[in-house]
Amino acid sequence: MPSEERLQDRLAWLRRLRTVRRFRPDPLPEPALRDILEVARWTGSAKNLQPWEFVVVRDRTMLERLSQLDGFVWHLAGAAAGIVLVMAGDPQRRAQETFDEGRLSERIQLAAWAYGIGSSIGWLVGDGQTEAKRLLGIPPERLVRTTLSLGYPAAGEQPTSVIRGRKPLHELTHYERYGQR
Ligand SMILES: Cc1cc2nc3c(=O)[nH]c(=O)nc-3n(C[C@H](O)[C@H](O)[C@H](O)COP(=O)(O)O)c2cc1C
């Protein structure tokens, strides 16, 4: 059992994981990137199928091009690195893969945060998905939807979610039966 102080530190650290979309230009240290990918590799998945591969993009021209594709990925342009999640794309396992993809994304964000590296999920939509596969040489049958922008947070970066905050716990939680607060 960790000491009370350590426990509270850990919980606060988890609670403080926020989306960062503006970055300093500094590159990510290789050991940090490798550790992030190692944590990603150990993410749990339905039936332990591990239906994923990762394309790490550091090339500035490619990050720029990806950032302009259809979706909400503009922040890739300023990222020190992007990770494009390449999911197996099995149509029979769409729901499981979507869940796995969410877990994977969160782990990558947490591992980055352990290094003080900020991150944002970015979703490619429509033609953006097809075009990303073409640009990165990914087989067309794969599912490419989620990108992660990574980098040290820019000075004064204030995530919009901090301003908007979260719903209070008492509105979200029911004890033993729905409706019992
Ligand atoms: C499934 C999912 C998809 C998201 N897609 C995008 C996106 O396409 N572009 C983006 O900038 N942020 C995206 N986000 C980040 C959310 O906007 C962000 O997590 C939310 O506003 C809460 O902010 P926080 O992460 O700072 O707490 C996505 C998050 C999730 C969980």
Say what the pLDDT of residue 156 is: 86
Residue 68 to residue 77: CA distance in whole angstroms:
8
pLDDT beneath 50, residues of the chain = none
Residue 23 sits in which domain range?
A: 19-172
Question: Which residues touch 85 (CB under 8 Å, ≥6 apart)?
Answer: 52, 54, 101, 104, 105, 144, 145, 146, 147, 148
Whether 148 maps to a domain, the answer reads yes
112-159 pLDDT, tens digit per residue, is 999 999 999 999 999 999 999 999 999 999 999 999 999 999 998 876
Whether 179 maps to a domain, the answer reads no
Q: How far is the CA of 163 from the centre of ligand 1 (A)?
A: 14
* CATH number (domain holding residue 144): 3.40.109.10
Say what the pLDDT of residue 168 is: 95
Predicted TM-score of the model (pTM)? 0.95
Q: How far is the CA of 64 from the centre of ligand 1 (A)?
A: 20
User: In what order do the strands lie in the sheet containing 81-87?
Assistant: 52-57, 81-87, 143-151, 118-123
Q: How far is the CA of 181 from the centre of ligand 1 (A)?
A: 29
The DSSP symbol for 148 reads: E
Say what the pLDDT of residue 26 is: 96
Residue 174 to residue 181: CA distance in whole angstroms:
5
3 touches 51 (CB < 8 A): no
Q: How far is the CA of 90 from the centre of ligand 1 (A)?
A: 24
> Best of 16, 121, 124, 160 to mutate for ligand 1, by most ligand atoms within 8 A of CB?
121
Q: Which atom of ligand 1 is nearest to the CA of 159?
A: 26
Q: Which atom of ligand 1 is nearest to the CA of 74?
A: 11
Q: Give the count of domains, the chain.
A: 1
